[in-house]
Amino acid sequence: MSVVLIVFGAAMIALLILCVIDFFRYRKRVRPFTKFGLAFGLIYLFFELALILPNLELVTEVFGVSTFCIDLIGLVRIIVFASVGMYCCRRARRPAAPILQAIFRRRRRSLPVLTRAFSLAVLLTIVGAATYSYVLLSATTPRASETVRRLVELQPATAGLASEASLLAALAMLEFAFIEEIVFRLGIQNLLAKSMRLQGQWYWVAIILTAALWSSGHAGTLEPGWVKMAQVFPIGLALGKLCERFGVESCIVAHGGFNLIMMFLAPTLIEF
């Protein structure tokens, strides 16, 4: 799995560089979308502050100044991937962030979240992903990897209050969903579609490649390793299709809802 993670890291660096190049190469065309990238960046900062401030002393003790450097890099990454991803969606005439765009344009009556198709697609994705994961993990009874166990041990007890610990864990799960969908579905998926000219029926190639890359980023979290890959790859395909049809907000909601469900199911399905 270490080889998979090395390949994943190299691919992510290459895609980030490609995205930055496009950000500056097409800066005049990307500029109208930077305000949306900044809006997503502010949401990212909200999550980070909500998670860090209650445990600032512990975080700085464990991670030091590197925490703020990582946050800065994360903020830039969100802004760049969101801005370029939305530009790529405009070129391909696909929905990018229709909810955020409707809010900016003060057209709240046109919010896609109010449509039955949007709500049903998100709900079916959450239920389908959770059901599939439950069946797969129940049948395979995997164990958490050593790395995951160490991360769990680092989680603060928040003064021993289980409700506060659960709230922070839920916020972390929602933040993971938010970041991953902005970077992978809105950013990488549409960047690949533009760069490789995967339009029309060929857009599925971008969905598959993005799902494969996203899945490889989860390598080394469970033992045996193939279980996690088998779990997240089909979910990545569903999220990719959801993004193509309804935009990135639908993926964020579906991914966040799935993460919250798995947060409660995981202790009964995975050996820690």
Q: What is the pLDDT of residues 86-101, one digit of tens each?
A: 999 999 889 999 999 9
Mean pLDDT for the stretch of residues 100-123: 83
Q: In the prediction, which pLDDT does 132 show?
A: 98
Confidence of residue 177 (pLDDT cuts 50, 70, 90): very high
Residue type, position 37, single letter? G
Task: Give the mean pLDDT of the chain.
Answer: 89
| Both tokens assigned to 46 | 């909200």
Q: What is the model's pLDDT at position 144?
A: 86
Whether the per-residue pLDDT at 31 is higher than 60: the answer is: yes
Q: Strands of the chain (E only): list them.
A: 143-144, 222-223
Beta-bridge partners for 144: 222
Residue 208 or 201, more confident: 208
Statement: residue 158 has pLDDT above 80 = no
Mean pLDDT for 64-71 is 75
Which range is least confidently modeled, 67-76, 173-182, 250-259?
Answer: 67-76
Asked if residue 165 has pLDDT above 70, the reply is no
pLDDT at residue number 162: 46
By CB atoms closer than 10 A (0-12, 13-18, 19+), residue 6 is exposed
pTM for the model stands at 0.91
C-alpha torsion angle, residues 208, 84, 99, 107 (rounded to 10): -140
β partners of residue 143: 223, 271
Do the beta carbons of residue 8 and residue 214 sit within 8 Å?
Answer: no
